Amino acid sequence: MIAHTISISPESPFVHRWDPRMKLIGLLLLAFTFSFVSNLRVLPMMIALTLTVVAMSRYPLDLLLRRLRYPSLVILCLIILLPLISGFTPLVEWGGLTVTREGFQAAMLVATRFFCIVTLAAVLLGTTPLLRTIKAMQALGLPYVMADMALLVVRYLEVLSADLRRMRISMRLRGHVEQRWPWRNLSTLAWLTGSLILRGYERSQGVYNAMRLRGYGHQPVSRDEFKAAPADLLALAAVCVATGLLIWLDMTL
Amino acid sequence: MHIPDGILPLPVTLGGYAASISICWLCIRAINKREDPRADIPKAALLTAAFFVASLIHIPIPPASVHLVLNGLLGALLGVFAFPAILIGLFLQAVMFGHGGLTTLGVNGVILGLPALAAAGVFHLRARGGAIHPASPRRTTVFGFLAGFSGIALSVLIFALILLTSLPAHLSAAAERSAILALGLAHVPLAVLEGLLTGLLAGFLLRVHPMILDGV
């Protein structure tokens, strides 16, 4: 269930070794700048910037395509519907349907922003182990309540999904057949979900006791785990320049 | 009901982050006021993981299938932990599966998290009167239904309002009204399903482990 991440070694490309704190800041800067772009002439530069990061990271293409294979249903609906239901200048008329210029442009803007941001997020977050990303967020000031919760959620996702798999197999072995209409086996579904929640709840007390015995809550959080080298800072500065350039182009072109 | 990256303009995504951070700060402040704020973290985290896994169960509603959202139940069981838990769940979904988005994390947090807190309020009304009127199984099931239903119904309403008022193309007021109505009507079966499921689940938990319903 845990997303695939690539192991990091000194020979890995720089994007893999980039300080996760700088990487997170850089990713958010780029993503929010892409959300800011509304000028269609800037879209090719956004795509070029995204492709440059992908090329630099040497992120496996098949993995990237797998992430992009199922774009959100909302995005698909908007790309199809916006040219037909919004705007007022007709571009193409066919069989009673009118594609408007404004709607088509809006659909292009939405689709490009979506694919660029999702690609960057997949590449930049996929090249750092998830637990390290959460620790980097904590080093950037994420409250301990959320950081500890996030680390535990990641730790127990595998365990609970294995529980769910086993419970569903047991149900089938006892003769349970999933109905086409959910109303017919709603109570079974509720008990399945309830049992899963109970397993998590009951396990939590043991987890808490084990954590307390290991000193949980008594040691100050170490913020020295990450050290930014000049190359890390330089890469973040390059991202800042690129985002500044995109904003300037968006406003002047 | 996740708004993906790329649709919303910058002011809306930044506004979403501001709103989510403010609500989250209030929730964490309430958690930190407890005698031992860390004591309930593993419980909240494991319940969050259970909800995350349960939300992967697909339920066939012909011609498609839906997955459980369970934000109403999450609110009912986790109380003030529900909002941070939803933010964590949304972040992990965005990172692990590409569902939702990074720039829209704040907005999505508001869409699913605020109704979860509202559902917590609705569910805790069942115990009004405390020892004089302890919550009966029927009362628990009814308030579970209301919490599950209101969690989804409010989420759909906020989702439709944010999405349709922030689209980067002109939509007439009439088209917006029709779209909100259509989105609302399309989600009625899901809201009823979640309500029924949450009600049955609350009744089940009351029978087998009533302490879990007291919230963390």
* B50 at interface of A, judged by CB pairs closer than 8 A: yes
Chain A touched by B11 (CB under 8 Å): no
Pick B48's closest partner by Cβ from A149, A163, A180. A149
Contact at CB, A3 and B95, closer than 8 angstroms: yes
Distance from CA of B132 to the nearest CA of A (A): 28
Contact residues on chain B for A211, CB-CB shorter than 8 A: 42
- Looking at residue B145, its pLDDT comes to 94
Confirm or reject contact between B131 and chain A (CB < 8 A): no
Write the single-letter amino acid at A134.
I
Judged by a CB distance cut-off of 8 A, whether residue B10 touches chain A is yes
Read off the pTM: 0.87
Give the per-residue pLDDT at B190: 85
pLDDT above 70 coverage of chain A, percent: 90
The two tokens of residue B145 are 């239904």
- Tell me the average pLDDT across A54-58: 91
Of B27, B26, B57, B56, whose CA–CA distance to B44 is shortest?
B27
Contacts of B58 in chain A (CB under 8 A): none
Buried b vs exposed e over A76-92: b needs ≥16 C-beta within 10 Å?
A: eebbeebbebbbeeeee
Give this complex's ipTM.
0.85
- The mean per-residue pLDDT over the stretch B73-91 comes to 91
Q: What confidence tens digit (pLDDT) does each residue in A219-228 have?
A: 666 666 788 8
The answer to whether B49 and A152 are in contact (CB under 8 A) is: yes
User: How near does any CA of chain B get to the CA of A149, in Å?
Assistant: 5
Given a cut of 60, whether residue A3 has pLDDT beyond it is no
**CA separation (Å) from A247 to A39, A47, B101?**
10, 15, 21
The alpha-carbon gap from B18 to the nearest alpha carbon of chain A, in Å, equals: 14
* pLDDT of the residue at B64: 63
Q: What is the largest CA-CA distance in chain A?
A: 72
pLDDT of residue A5 exceeding 60, the answer is no
CB pairs under 8 A between A and B: 242
Q: What's the pLDDT score for residue A241?
A: 95
Is A102's CB within 8 Å of B37's CB?
no
A194 and B208: CB-CB below 8 Å? yes
Nearest CA in chain A to B90: A150
Quickly state the pLDDT bin for A72 (edges 50, 70, 90).
low
